[in-house]
Amino acid sequence: MDCVFCRIVSGELRGYKVYEDEQFFAFLDINPIRPGHILVIPKTHCVNIFDTPEVFSERYYSVVQKLSRSVSNAMLADGINVFQLNGSAAGQIVLHSHIHIVPRHKDDGASLSHDNRMKLEDAELKSICSRIIEHI
Ligand code: AMP
Ligand code: ZN
């Protein structure tokens, strides 16, 4: 199966990993809405909220909660957006279930759409990655 997120989990594709346990994996979004934007995914391939095995669902939220705190503390955020797009009609592009965590600052003017995403240099992504890991 040609799934970009499965390839990141297996290490075949480079990902800026911030967290991994037996069931979940989290890494920096490559085109972030704001610096510190991460994605949390189940390691087992599933598409979205509709086919995610219930056995993962509860833990999914608790991993998202834990990592929201880490991202918030690492990026000194004033708030956090947590969201998931389910189905192409809802804007889902990558068909491997993922929950977005986006740190927000007062009046940062960011939009949650796919437009106007940031492009960060490798060094900046690496530095953000380490900062989040230090706060886990
Ligand atoms: P969506 O499916 O609409 O939630 O969007 C997919 C998200 O995955 C977007 O925010 C992309 O920037 C992000 N993305 C796509 N490919 C990669 C990748 N190779 N590494 C990290 N993030 C990615
Ligand atoms: Zn996958």
Q: What is the CATH number of the domain that holds 71?
A: 3.30.428.10
Give the model's pLDDT for residue 66.
98
| Residues lining ligand 1, Cβ inside 6 A | 4, 15, 29-31, 85, 91-94, 98
23-39 per-position pLDDT tens digit: 999 999 999 999 999 99
Residue 100 is among the residues annotated as catalytic for this protein: no
pTM of the model: 0.98
For the chain, the average pLDDT equals 97
Q: How many domains does the chain have?
A: 1
Ligand 2 centroid from CA 44, angstroms: 7
58-110 per-position pLDDT tens digit: 899 999 999 999 999 999 999 999 999 999 999 999 999 999 999 999 999 99
Q: Which of 128, 134, 103, 135 is nearest to 16 (CA)?
A: 128
Domain that holds residue 29: 4-134
With a cut of 90, say whether residue 1 has pLDDT above it.
Answer: no
Q: Which of 66, 42, 75, 69 is nearest to 56 (CA)?
A: 42
